[in-house]
Structure 1
Amino acid sequence: MMWTKPFGLCFVTFASTVSAGVLNQRSSDSYSLYAYGENIGGLPLYYAHGIAVIANHTPANATDVGQVTFTPGSSGSLVGNPTNGTESDGKRRTSGSFSNQELFIPSANSTDHQVGFTADASSDQVTKKFVWYGHFLLVETDEGDYTSLFYAKENQTQDGAYSLQWNITNEDDGDGEYYAVSIRSIAPSNV
């Protein structure tokens, strides 16, 4: 298993000491999200049947799939819709049929770690706590701290694709390979 916990813990410690004055909500601009971490150099975020996936290409084996463009919602939510345009190789992006889906992380009470999308959040889904430190996406905890506990879980059946996870612990050790990632609104320079 690949653990990059020191990076994740370092960023969490740094993020939790950030002054609230430098944290903010995004304006009305639209943007995409990208994951950066060990061997993950700015993979875009995709919607795949309600699950958040990061990949170097449109994820296969999903009929409702597409890269996501976000706009700010109410109270710190991120509202996603399909991105229009073309891939870097000139092919048209696959646009999903989803619309106005809020990004969520699992709540502290949830036993699931999968990040996803929802139109109607349950009590186990947090949609309203996203904040920005520059171009880094953070989450405000109930205690008022700012964290980034995003992880990429390697997809065993699709090379170059990862499911986006939240708050992986040592108990999740035998469940696959995880990589700590930061989520940013800046595309990699090779796009």
Structure 2
Amino acid sequence: MLFDTKFLAALLAISGVNASKIIKSRAAASNFTLYAYGTNITGLNVFYADGLAYIGNAAPSGASVASNITFSTTDPNSNSATWSVSSTDSAFSTAPALYIVPTNNTFTQVGFYTSSNSSSSLPTGGVTTGFELFGNALSYITSDGTLEQQFWAQATDATDTWKLMWNAGGEGGVTVDGYAITPVTVKTTAPLVISDSTSSTSK
């Protein structure tokens, strides 16, 4: 079930509580994985490909650098801290920062910014801070303290591989550029794995 951020915002407005003051993460500050959950997306991991974020288990065709990643942040309780990523197989040596474009009426792929790389640049309106966990769900805290979870998955040409998108306006719709889209929640919780082992009972 998707988290209704508008409902939360209404509750916060009624109680007069700023979202950033009540969200306190107990997650580890380093080396954790993020997973996406949504329609037909049951805990697929978020991975890196050519500086952009994808969901799934297979790199998009044509990607020159693709890798599973772990996330780290200097302070999981502060939305002013950046979230950096590391390659699990040394596909890249830098620690680029997670970014989104939170400008209204945009639909932009989530990515990773390397400040030390002169050829790397943030897209217009991109930000590398504002992230915080609400429970185990990745959220963005706006400058006025509003909590947003506007992550979407956009299908690609590769089966079961999706672009991880941020839709600042929260607009509906079922396709973008001819590819199916669906809202997702991004969590630190890994999908449940059911053991294949069976137990026998005596008769």
TM above 0.5, yes or no, is: yes
Query: Is 1:78 the counterpart of 2:83 in the alignment?
Result: yes
Give the TM-score taking structure 1 as reference length. 0.78
Find the counterpart in structure 2 of residue 169 from structure 1.
171
Find the counterpart in structure 2 of residue 13 from structure 1.
6
Please point out which of 96, 108, 111 is paired with 2:91: 96
Find the counterpart in structure 2 of residue 128 from structure 1.
129
Preserved contact between residue 51 and residue 115 of structure 1 (Cα < 8 Å) = yes
How high is the sequence identity, in percent, across the aligned residues?
A: 27
Preserved contact between residue 102 and residue 166 of structure 2 (Cα < 8 Å) = no
Query: Is 1:179 the counterpart of 2:182 in the alignment?
Result: yes
C-alpha change, 1:174 and 1:58, in structure 2 (3 Å) is closer
C-alpha change, 1:170 and 1:97, in structure 2 (3 Å) is same
Which structure 1 residue ranges, 5 or more long, are not aligned? Answer: 1-6, 85-94
Preserved contact between residue 58 and residue 67 of structure 1 (Cα < 8 Å) = no
Displacement, 1:109? Answer: 6.1
Which structure 2 residue ranges, 5 or more long, are not aligned? Answer: 13-18, 116-120, 195-203
Is the helix fraction higher in 1 or 2?
A: 1
Describe how 1:39-118 pairs up with structure 2 within 5 A. 39-73=40-74, 75-84=80-89, 95-108=90-103, 111-118=106-113
| Counterpart AA for 1:185 | T
| Counterpart AA for 1:80 | V
RMSD (Å) for aligned C-alpha atoms = 2.6
Displacement, 1:107? Answer: 3.0
Displacement, 1:180? Answer: 0.4
Displacement, 1:114? Answer: 1.0
Displacement, 1:26? Answer: 4.8
Displacement, 1:15? Answer: 4.2
